[in-house]
Chain A
């Protein structure tokens, strides 16, 4: 069974440009989570999509947005890129059967997209 896939692996942009990152969840998973891991800052929660809707977002400005498609794949868009947006962006998916955490079940992570903003 294929795991979570992300594309591209690496992305280089300049300040002010827009970046689009893509994630395909494990077959059968309906929840997709996006995380940012910037150097020295650790992992930070960005967005959670489930059944095509945004369920929650972390403390990031509105220029970080995304969507989930009918096939449950997801896109993360970052507008007006800033130097500090350089980071590893990780996507994770989880099963549609909610556990004790009300849906935040075991997460399967993709390999990430490394975004560099010059």
Chain B
């Protein structure tokens, strides 16, 4: 079992839909990152969380430390949101562990 699990692996939705991507982890962590990787390979850091909730534009990220779970939400999704979304955690041993990513495709 992977230490960081993301679901779903693939998600296709219509433009305008509310999107939720989940990340569960099994290790103690000091922080969690959400990353976005576009088809060309470029990676952008979206959020870093250690507790609570953060919002940036149409993106919202939440984390529940007790339940070892984080969610990334996209409101009013748009085709330009199509990308791979990756969850990464920093364990208490300072190792960085990545989920396998969620491939999101938003149809116009």
Residue positions of A touching B, CB distance < 8 A: 33, 42-45, 48, 55-56, 58-59, 88, 90, 92, 99-102, 104-109, 111-112
Q: Which residues of A contact B94 (CB under 8 A)?
A: 48, 55-56
Could you show 29 A-B contacts with beta carbons less than 8 Å apart?
A33-B96, A42-B86, A42-B98, A42-B99, A43-B86, A43-B88, A44-B98, A45-B98, A48-B94, A56-B94, A56-B96, A58-B96, A90-B43, A100-B30, A100-B31, A100-B50, A101-B50, A102-B30, A104-B31, A104-B33, A104-B90, A104-B96, A105-B48, A106-B45, A107-B33, A107-B45, A108-B45, A109-B42, A109-B45
Which B residues, 57 to 108, have Cβ-Cβ distances below 8 Å to chain A? Answer: 86, 88, 90, 94-101
Q: Which residues of A contact B31 (CB under 8 A)?
A: 100-101, 104
The docked-state distance in angstroms from the alpha carbon of A22 to that of B45 is 21
Total interface residues in chain B, CB < 8 Å: 21
The docked-state distance in angstroms from the alpha carbon of A43 to that of B95 is 13
Q: Which residues of A contact B42 (CB under 8 A)?
A: 109, 111
Known: A42-B101, A101-B48, A105-B48. A58 touches B95 (CB 8 A): yes
Q: Which residues of A contact B95 (CB under 8 A)?
A: 45, 56, 58-59
Most B-side CB within 10 Å, residue of A101, A105, A108, A111: A101
Known: A42-B101, A109-B44. A101 touches B90 (CB 8 A): yes
Q: How far does the Cβ of B34 sit from chain A's closest Cβ, in whole Å?
A: 11
Q: How far does the Cβ of B38 sit from chain A's closest Cβ, in whole Å?
A: 11
Q: How far does the Cβ of B17 sit from chain A's closest Cβ, in whole Å?
A: 26
B39 on the A face (CB < 8 A): no
Q: Which residues of B contact A109 (CB under 8 A)?
A: 42-45
The docked-state distance in angstroms from the alpha carbon of A109 to that of B48 is 14
